[in-house]
Structure 1
Amino acid sequence: MSANNSVYEAIGGMPTFRKIVSGFYKQVPEDDILGPMYPDQDFAGAEDRLLWFLAQYWGGPALFNENRGSPRMRMRHMNYPIDMAAHDRWLKLMKNSLDDIDEETLPMPYRQMIWQHMNQLAGMLINKAP
């Protein structure tokens, strides 16, 4: 990645982030821990919001801010019981999604950066003791 390129640009922009997010959300409706957390089965809306957030975070367009305001992830997830089991499941489904993307599309250095961010994000959102 050159100094002028963002991760977003380096891995192909919105199509790659859409693959990550759609791969994750394909698994969520049937998941016994994460599926029930979505109000009114709002999977499409949630998918858009995660796509906007990740694309923006990694240097893409500020779609999250434009559509939702500041991310404030802890505040936005406060009403959902996120314990270590939810944390672990979220990461498992996200890893499955990342693993489904070929290395040409998502080279290892970028995959590792994104995975590290996913781990930090999941840890930050835990709001319920065991």
Structure 2
Amino acid sequence: MTEKQTPYERLGGEEGVRRLVNRFYDLMGSEPQWQSPLRSIHPEDLSGSRERLFLFLSGWLGGPDLYVERFGHPRLRARHASFPVDDLARDQWMACMMRAMDEVQVPQDVRGDLTAALQRTADFMRNR
């Protein structure tokens, strides 16, 4: 290998990102500590949320820009403006994602940078 791998590649490409996203939503949908407000601001059927997060993370992590190809610029704050994202929702999202990263065994060399980037993004998403 002569070039540095992207985080997308280090996570295992499409399969690894899907595994992370699926574990995140499985946890969010089943664990009581994430039911309110985090789970309650999502639709009953999480399949669309799973797919959109997978598409977004794929490009955001250096893989194919699937979200942009399908939906255009992510405009994260604008797309989440109608959902109450406060400190608790942000913290629950991060805790759930951290646990998902633990459970799918995200490599440590990716985890530190990924955690910092996700924390900045989660902070930016607050609108309450």
Fold in common (TM above 0.5): yes
Counting only pairs closer than 5 Å after superposition, residues 1-130 of structure 1 correspond to structure 2 as 3-30=3-30, 31-39=35-43, 41-102=44-105, 106-128=106-128
| In 1, Cα distance between equivalents of 2:90 and 2:83 | 12
Higher helix residue share: 2
SS at match of 2:68: helix
How many angstroms does 1:36 deviate by? 1.4
CA distance in 2, matches of 1:10, 1:29: 27
Structure 2's unaligned 5+ residue stretches are none
Q: Hey, which bits of structure 1, 4+ residues long, moved more than 3 A?
A: 1-4
Q: Which moved more, 1:24-33 or 1:119-128?
A: 24-33
Would the alpha carbon gap of residues 3 and 28 (structure 1) be closer, same or farther in structure 2, given more than 3 Å must change?
same
**C-alpha deviation, 1:27, in angstroms:** 2.0
Deviation of 1:2 after TM superposition, in Å, equals: 5.7
The two structures have a TM-score, normalised by structure 1, of 0.87
The answer as to whether partners of 2:10 and 2:107 remain within 8 angstroms in 1 is no
- Deviation string, structure 1 residues 21-70 (Cα, Å, up to 9, x no partner): 1111002234222121123x241000110111111011111110111110
Identity, in percent, stands at 31
Q: CA RMSD in A?
A: 1.6
Between the two proteins, the alignment pairs up a number of residues equal to 124
